[in-house]
Amino acid sequence: MLDATITLPVVGGDVDVDRYSEEKDKSTYLFDGATWAKRKEISFLRSVPKASGAYPGNARGTVKITWDTEVQDKLGNTIVAPIIATVQYSIPVGTADADITAHIKHVAAVLNHVSLPAAVFKSLQI
């Protein structure tokens, strides 16, 4: 089980998130400023490996961050809509820890790149 409070190292200062709910394969934490009307949460999900024949299966872990924001609809009305980011891993059972760590570092490098995330996620460049 993850800690009741998780500190995220964010540029400009660490951010604490506190556990809000816990289910069998999902824990949800809230960021400061979360309300019933506007979600600001991070969820951690898991799926245990399922073997198929001789193949031992894949462990699946997911991190999903959802923040509701206000936008204008086509009629000019203000509505609440979510910004959602999902990072999902599917790792074959038996993968070396060094390989997993190296892969995570490369994913983090893409997300921490100076211009790449904005180009892909905001401008939809591919």
Full pLDDT tens readout for the chain, 126 residues: 899 999 999 988 999 999 999 999 999 999 999 999 999 999 999 999 999 999 999 999 999 999 999 999 999 999 999 999 999 999 999 999 999 999 999 999 999 998 999 999 999 999
- The answer on 84 and 28 residing in a single domain is yes
Beta bridge partners of residue 3, listed in sequence order: none
- The answer on 76 and 26 residing in a single domain is yes
For residue 116, the enclosing domain spans: 96-126
- The answer on 42 and 102 residing in a single domain is no
- Give the model's pLDDT for residue 54: 97
Task: Compute the distance between CA of residue 120 and CA of residue 123 in angstroms, rounded to an integer.
Answer: 6
- The answer on 55 and 21 residing in a single domain is yes
- Give the model's pLDDT for residue 1: 84
- The answer on 114 and 73 residing in a single domain is no
Number of domains in the chain: 2
- The answer on 112 and 72 residing in a single domain is no
Task: Compute the distance between CA of residue 31 and CA of residue 113 in angstroms, rounded to an integer.
Answer: 24
- The answer on 43 and 100 residing in a single domain is no
- The answer on 81 and 23 residing in a single domain is yes
Q: In angstroms, what CA-CA distances link 56 with 38, 48, 49, 103, 113?
A: 41, 11, 7, 20, 35
- The answer on 103 and 88 residing in a single domain is no
